[in-house]
């Protein structure tokens, strides 16, 4: 049988950038094919070409053995190809059904939309692939994982049997990743061919039947049998050299208290979501917080940075009680913050990099002088951040939109670090970014620790927690339930504390 997809010597130039440089890709029918590569390797560009959103400058595309020339996504859809983008494209204020049919509404006479037929077809598609959605739910009420399911159904609804997913797990929590993988396997068993872009190599190894590695716009490897490679092998293919690992380096912990949280309680509707939590972080120390998401970590962070008011307890920065301080005063006193969601809280995507570099620090030098914004000062600092934190970007004037996720994250980490905080609160600082950017973020946190920074690290990535932390505490239902030594704890142990299994065992 002809391969589902063959891309032969695809070249795509953008002004000043060779995004795809003679790329080859073969995807066999009915397989789950992963494309891996660092930020900027050309993965999304290649998929946009396959989906008819962009034209290749050179090269040949074959679908099921036939040469195709797509002028737009509708040509690709016609050929049975569908794509779910990195950032979802659903209308928040419409229902699931309305979103699914948007653009391909079945019509009755006089052009009226035949909702009955659409609803029936949606139910058919969802049932056929074992995907559950409620047609009448408003998209704004859905969780991220559910929204993604709607995007997938929308594509299948249009008859796609070749499905492209661009970094689908970047936005998902681990449980949702498992569910996505179950769904993809089900789709595969129904005969759908799936191409999935992912930076997370362990996830790739779990799901992929074959892997293509891109580096700097070129195909550097095709792995036909993923069981023969490790995540480390793939990472080296991606970056072309050996990577630093997150192994613990020598301790730099001092006995000077930088951040002290005492008996902190935060309520949500009278229910304690943070329940009598006490944590001390010393200069030069990284305290890791492990926990299944939704166990109070987010609210704890909100209380520390000043966006949630605690019902009881105190938060002190060195000797100053900052429990009632404003967000701005805390920031000025040296609290740095890497938020969980870089698009919601971390960046203004449509604003230029230099404004993003000033975000949260705009009232201080070098971003302002007195009452005035200091454009020159802000540009100079932004250029420093771009250089020191390897933020791949043409200038400080492009919008944050133009950067890949990893480079956006490096900009945020750089912004916070260059402000020389005393305490850093970092939430999932490397979620959804590639291994190269991840190594850079880890290194900057480690360097800052050596220089005396006190860090509170919340992460769902257990290897990251174990690799970076000096001590790990586990949060469960708002409480700290364990204090563990990263030198001896395993991800498995952590998992059983996180779910409460270890505690239940201890009580028996
Ligand atoms: N529309 C565009 N205009 C100019 N440059 C672009 C455009 N799209 C992508 N690029 C550049 O092409 C390169 C590859 O980008 P992309 O395909 O998005 O990489 P990946 O998805 O692997 O992170 C990057 O250097 C990126 O900045
Ligand atoms: Mg991309």
5-239 CATH, one of 3.60.15.10, 3.40.50.300, 3.40.50.280, 3.40.190.10: 3.40.50.300
Of 307, 477, 305, which is closest to residue 315 (Cα–Cα)?
305
- Omega cis (within 30) before 482: no
pLDDT by residue (tens digit) across 233-245?
Answer: 888 888 776 555 5
Q: At the topology level of CATH, where does 257-507 sit?
A: Rossmann fold (3.40.50)
Query: CATH 3.40.50.300 in the chain, residues?
Result: 5-239, 257-507
Q: Which of 45, 213, 218, 393 to mutate to test the pocket of ligand 1 (most atoms within 8 A of CB)?
A: 45
Task: Give the pLDDT of residue 64.
Answer: 97
Mutate to test the pocket of ligand 1, among 11, 20, 39, 40 (most ligand atoms within 8 A of CB): 40
Ligand 1 and 432: CB distance under 6 A = no
Indicate which atom in ligand 1 lies nearest the CA of residue 43. Answer: 22
Q: Which atom of ligand 1 is nearest to the CA of 54?
A: 1
Across the chain, which distance is largest between two alpha carbons, in Å?
A: 78
Q: Buried b / exposed e across 39-71, counting CB within 10 Å, b at 16+?
A: bbbbbbbbbbbbbbbbebeebebbbbeeebebe
- pLDDT of amino acid 248: 47
For 157, what's the count of Cα atoms within 13 Å in the CB-facing half-sphere?
28
20 lines ligand 1 (CB under 6 A): no
Report the predicted TM-score, pTM, of the whole model to 2 decimal places: 0.59
C-alpha 42 to ligand 1 mean position (Å)? 6
Contact of 386 with 379, CB cutoff 8 Å: no
Residue 115 Cα, ligand 2 centroid: separation in angstroms? 35
Distances (CA, A) of 320 to 314, 330, 454: 10, 10, 15
Residue 508: what pLDDT? 45
Q: Beta strand pairing status for 5-14 and 58-63?
A: antiparallel
Q: Does the beta carbon of 398 sit less than 6 angstroms from any atom of ligand 1? A: no
Pick the ligand that lies closest to the CA of residue 85: 2
Q: Which of 13, 19, 437 to mutate to test the pocket of ligand 1 (most atoms within 8 A of CB)?
A: 19
Which ligand lies nearest to the CA atom of residue 23 in the structure? 1
Task: State in Å: Cα 354 to ligand 1 middle.
Answer: 20
Phi, psi for 307 (deg, rounded to 5): -100, 0
Question: pLDDT under 50 in the chain at which residues?
Answer: 248, 508
Tell me: the pLDDT tens digits for 277-287?
A: 999 999 999 99
Residue 90 to residues 84, 156, 232, 391, Cα–Cα distance (Å): 11, 15, 36, 30
Q: How many CA atoms lie within 13 A of 191 on its CB side?
A: 5
């Amino acid at each position: 049988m002809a391969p589902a997809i063959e891309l032969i010597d695809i070249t795509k130039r953008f002004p000043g950038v060779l995004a795809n440089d003679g790329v080859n890709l073969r995807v066999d029918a009915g397989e789950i094919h992963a494309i891996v590569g660092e930020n900027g390797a050309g993965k999304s560009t290649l998929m946009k070409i396959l989906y008819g959103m962009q034209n290749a400058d050179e090269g040949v595309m074959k679908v099921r053995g036939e040469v195709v020339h797509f002028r737009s996504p509708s040509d690709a859809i016609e050929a049975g190809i569908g794509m779910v983008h990195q950032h979802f494209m659903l209308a928040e204020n419409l229902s699931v059904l309305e979103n699914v049919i948007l653009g391909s509404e079945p019509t009755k006479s006089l052009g009226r939309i035949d909702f009955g037929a659409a609803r029936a077809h949606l139910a058919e598609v969802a049932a056929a692939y074992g995907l559950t959605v409620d047609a009448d739910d408003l998209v704004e009420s859905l969780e991220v994982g559910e929204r993604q399911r709607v995007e997938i159904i929308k594509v299948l609804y249009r008859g796609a049997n070749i499905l492209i997913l661009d970094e689908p797990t970047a936005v998902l929590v681990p449980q949702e990743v498992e569910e996505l993988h179950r769904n993809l396997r089900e789709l595969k068993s129904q005969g759908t061919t799936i191409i999935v872009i992912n930076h997370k190599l362990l996830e790739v190894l779990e799901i992929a039947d074959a892997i293509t590695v891109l580096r700097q716009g070129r195909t550097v490897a095709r792995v036909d049998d993923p069981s023969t490679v490790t995540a480390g092998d793939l990472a080296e293919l991606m970056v072309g050299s050996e990577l630093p690992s997150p192994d613990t380096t020598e301790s730099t912990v001092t006995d000077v208290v930088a951040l002290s949280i005492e008996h902190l309680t935060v309520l949500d509707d009278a229910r304690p979501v943070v329940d009598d939590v006490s944590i001390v972080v010393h200069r030069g120390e990284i305290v890791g917080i492990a926990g299944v998401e939704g166990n109070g970590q987010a609210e704890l962070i909100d209380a520390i940075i000043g966006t949630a008011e605690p019902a009881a307890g105190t938060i002190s920065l060195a000797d100053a009680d900052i429990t009632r301080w404003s967000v701005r005063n805390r920031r000025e006193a040296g609290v740095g913050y890497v938020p969980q969601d870089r698009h919601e809280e971390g960046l203004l995507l449509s604003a230029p990099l230099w404004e993003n570099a000033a975000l949260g620090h705009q009232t201080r030098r070098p971003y302002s002088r007195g009452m005035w914004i200091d454009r020159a000062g802000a540009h100079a600092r932004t250029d420093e951040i771009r250089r020191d934190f390897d933020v791949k970007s043409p200038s400080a004037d492009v919008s944050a939109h133009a950067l890949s996720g990893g480079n956006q994250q490096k900009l945020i980490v750089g912004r916070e670090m260059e402000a020389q905080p005393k305490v850093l609160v970092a939430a999932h600082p490397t979620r959804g970014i590639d291994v190269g950017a991840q190594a850079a973020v880890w290194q900057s946190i480690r360097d800052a620790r050596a220089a005396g920074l006190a860090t509170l690290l919340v992460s769902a990535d257990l290897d990251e927690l174990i690799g970076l932390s000096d001590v790990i505490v586990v949060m469960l239902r708002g409480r700290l339930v364990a204090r563990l030594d990263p030198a001896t704890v395993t991800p498995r142990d952590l998992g059983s504390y996180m779910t409460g299994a270890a505690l239940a065992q201890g009580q028996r």
